[in-house]
Chain A
């Protein structure tokens, strides 16, 4: 193992500890806040809003390879996935595959300059 790999291992473990900090704090606090209280309802709302912000960012303002696809393609693929979900009696797995395949198809069509 090279010195760089050793440094990376330490960095990953430190980042893991930083991530567990929030998880452990959540477990600890969960014993001190009443389950059906207003505080808990607020915290649940904050979680859903945070996850929704994360997912919206991944879909609409992505970094990495998805950033190379046009926004309209990603929006169409999401719409196809949602339509498939309700058309296929809420089969999430089939709908997610259909939605992703739509994006791949659009990207292929663009690569061959059909679109």
Chain B
């Protein structure tokens, strides 16, 4: 069973891509999201974050580690600036994530008013970037023809957020009735999903090396600088993997982009 729903083979229709994207969010990635947002909804209630604000954080921040930090810090009475810095810092990973994904979309350069609309759409699409969306999109987008990319991404992003909002409400409502072991399984499900997705299918020796180096360095650094372990693991581990990949020259063997850059 494919992890991500794709448009029918041979189709180049944007409408097919939009539908496939919407359905993709209700597939395996949606279940993984739902599990972790049920956990988040339950946590919000236990830590005194009202449901509307819990939902607002899901829609507006749209990043689980940042939302967890905010929910825990407000319960501990942290001040505005401390929360803002913590969330902004933990989400710095969105910069290196957004860049390569959107580079696939920048190959398309419509002229004039259509170009302006396209650029506005790209900035709107940026809000969806988060672990689940990015992992799925990096896998799917290079395989889609240009006219299907944006519709698929918008469908996938919207259905991911929809599923997460429904799950947040369910978790909030069921907070006091969920057994402890079920809560454990729900919180565990999300990181396990990504472990499996990465184990299943990541292209290129450099990216595989990045996964290994990032995990090892991140864990090694964590006891000393917990706030910086992601950034250090990412930059140091990623750079080592990049050098290894360039030495092997593996990127030359990667499948070429489906359609060539436009003139």
Contact = CB atoms under 8 A, between A and B. Distances in A.
Interface of A: 5, 7-16, 18-27, 29-31, 33-36, 38, 40-66, 68-69, 74, 77-78, 81-82, 85, 89-93, 95-97, 99-101, 103-104, 107-108, 111
Contacts of B72: 64
Contacts of B213: 49, 52
Task: Give the secondary structure class of A's interface.
Answer: helix
Nearest to B109: A31
Interface residues of B, number: 107
B230 interface: yes
Given A20-B127, A42-B242, A50-B238, A9 B53 contact: yes
Task: Give the secondary structure class of B's interface.
Answer: helix
Query: Which of A40, A48, A69 has most chain B Cβ within 10 Å?
Result: A48
Given A23-B94, A49-B236, A77-B192, 16 more contacts: A12-B53, A12-B60, A18-B84, A19-B88, A19-B91, A30-B103, A33-B103, A38-B246, A43-B99, A45-B206, A47-B134, A50-B93, A54-B230, A61-B222, A65-B187, A93-B31
Interface string B42-86: 010000011001001100111101101010101000001001100
B61 A54 contact: no
Given A5-B53, A54-B65, A30 B102 contact: yes
